[in-house]
């Protein structure tokens, strides 16, 4: 896993790349271009001048690739590193007890109830992973783990880990790099074209979610079969909303957006279990 110090060192090296003083780049003969590349050079299928030109182009490509990767990494790597504390293996029956500053509080609302989350964490840490997700599910599926945690009820029918699970799901759902945002905007550009310029935000978000879900799972609209739970969601609800409703939906509060995200994740989990 990358650390903030590693990324800072790479940034400093890129600033000196190609400079006449303290050049950080290796000589062309010291760069590892791969075994196949070296085999072609040994066979002398190209002239020495052409081989030198190819090496220079490959070196420039590697520098450009590293620069693009670094530019797409988040600046607050130290905060992103804290997300690893949400891994199931770090939660259930963990011998190390995290401190309050170990949690990525910066990724959520400043008014979050930290004390409730810490108390729920202590209770959850006494349980085994199999007690949460069962024996059939993968213990490495972090999203499914927190969805199942959210579903857990106590004897009174209340959610046992509501604040903790919602906090974890919101942290995991955030785009943590520019590349993720760029992909979403790229898909959005193919949906909301000039001919569809009047498309409202709710329908745009719905299409984005559907496309992402079906692409990830390799599904097609031609053979998609909705589950009984999906069909039941249409009963007693308005299929279409007015323009005023769309406008009010686009200005919903943060809590409503969080509840919508939870509903979407629960819907996907219910679909998988059917």
The pLDDT tens digits for 195-215 are 888 888 888 888 888 888 888
pLDDT at 274 over 70: no
pLDDT at 171 (0 to 100): 85
Give the confidence band of 249 by pLDDT, cuts at 50, 70, 90: very low
User: Is the pLDDT score of 257 beyond 50?
Assistant: no
Non-local CB neighbours of 214 within 8 Å, separated by 6+ positions? 220, 221, 224
pLDDT in tens, 25-71: 778 888 888 888 888 778 777 777 888 888 888 888 888 888 887 77
């Amino acid at each position: 896993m990358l650390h903030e110090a590693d990324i800072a060192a790479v940034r400093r090296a890129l600033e000196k790349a190609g400079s006449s003083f303290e050049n950080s780049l290796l000589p062309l003969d010291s760069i590892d271009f791969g075994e196949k590349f070296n085999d072609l050079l040994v066979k002398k299928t190209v002239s020495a001048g052409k081989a030198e030109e190819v090496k220079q182009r490959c070196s420039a490509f590697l520098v450009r690739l590293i620069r693009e990767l670094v530019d797409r990494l988040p600046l607050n790597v130290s905060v992103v590193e804290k997300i690893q504390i949400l891994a199931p293996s770090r939660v259930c029956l963990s011998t190390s007890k995290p401190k309050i500053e170990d949690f990525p509080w910066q990724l959520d609302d400043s008014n979050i109830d930290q004390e409730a989350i810490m108390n729920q964490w202590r209770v959850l840490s006494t349980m085994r992973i199999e007690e949460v997700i069962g024996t059939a599910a993968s213990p490495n599926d972090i999203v499914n783990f927190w969805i199942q945690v959210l579903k857990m009820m106590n004897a009174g029918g209340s959610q046992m880990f509501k604040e903790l699970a919602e906090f974890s799901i919101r942290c995991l759902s955030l785009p943590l790099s520019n590349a993720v945002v760029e992909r979403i905007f790229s898909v959005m550009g193919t949906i909301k074209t000039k001919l569809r310029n009047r498309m409202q935000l709710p329908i745009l978000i719905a299409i984005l979610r559907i496309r992402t879900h079906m692409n990830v799972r390799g599904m097609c609209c031609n053979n998609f079969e909705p589950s009984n739970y999906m069909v039941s969601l249409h009963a007693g609800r308005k299929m279409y909303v007015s323009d005023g409703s769309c406008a009010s939906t686009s200005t919903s509060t943060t809590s409503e957006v969080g509840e919508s995200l939870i509903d979407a994740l629960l819907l996907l989990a219910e679909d998988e279990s059917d």
